[in-house]
Structures are given as C-alpha cells and as structure tokens.
Amino acid sequence: MGKVYEGIDDRLREFIDRQRVFFVATAPSGAHGHVNVSPKGMTGTFAVLDAHRVAYLDYHGSGTETLAHLRDNGRITIMFCAFEGPPKILRLHGQGEAVTVEDPGFAPLLDLFPNSPDRHAVRAVIMVRVHRVSDSCGFGVPLMTYQGDRDLLIQSHSRRTREDLVEYRRTRNAASIDGIPVFA
C-alpha cells in the first residue's frame, strides 16, 4: 500500500542515497506536445537539500526536453526504484527550475555536489521544490545488480572546450522537440 509523506525524512533520504538511477518526467503546457521521461544517474549528481528541496546536475546531452518544460511550466516528477533490496518506488512531485550554466547563480550551486564526477559538462542545476512525496510497493520492479557508473558522457564532453559547449547548446540544445526555447 502506498503512502504519502509530509516531506523527505532521514529514512527516505537514505533510500534516495542508495539508488544509482532515477527518472525525471516533465511535459509542456497544454494538450499538445511530448511528455518526456529521462533516466539520470552517476554518483554524486543528486542532492537532498531539505525535506522539501532537492537538486540534480543536468549534463549536456542529445535532448533538452526537461529544461524546456521547466522553463515552460516548472512541473516535474522524480522517481526512484529499488533495483536491489526490498521493493520500493518513491516519487517526488514538485516545481522545478533550471539554473543554466549561463545564469549568474549557476557556479555557487555546483558546491551542492562535492562528489560529482565532472563539472565541465554540466549545463544546468535543476532545483526542485517538492510538494508531494509518495511511495508505492515496487513489486513489479526487477532485481538488478549495479556494476558501476558509465563514464562515456564525461569522456565525450572532456574533449570539448567551453566554447565548444556554448556552440553545442546553440546548435543542438536551443529548443525542445516541440520547439520550446531552452536558453533565453
């Protein structure tokens, strides 16, 4: 039976800290447009700030749906699944904000992630004000064994200069697949 919590308590924080992957869901405003679900991971890229605030690092990638949707309406759900240990699914519903590498407040937010694998490739810090915390059984989630973080994303961006990343954002990350602008 699922439960709704007042906020992220110590037990839920410990659960979150043990998970190696999480999923982010966003959607544009209105009846049209594509709903997006993105897997996220890499050790040190997610932080529980308090009972009602979390943050994670968003790296340059092939799409920009999450950033576009957050700029459009701020709605976001983050889901964690236990692939090891007792079955559990935890969802954090909230309002998110993308603080991009181009924003003046970006650099200080990186200090929230002292164990992140690389800061060069980060294009935004996603800040989320959580208004609903709930869990469910997770009985249908398979058991899987963690083998390690992939380093391909970090390797691919380590070859790019800051100027290359600016160009990457301009040419490949300027808008969502629905045409919603990302970097204003």
DSSP 36-79: EEEEEE-TT-EEEEETTEEEEEEE--S--HHHHHHHHT-EEEEE
Which pLDDT tens digit goes with each residue over 86-102?
Answer: 999 999 999 999 999 99
pTM of the entire predicted model: 0.95
Least confident interval from 121-125, 138-142, 152-156: 152-156
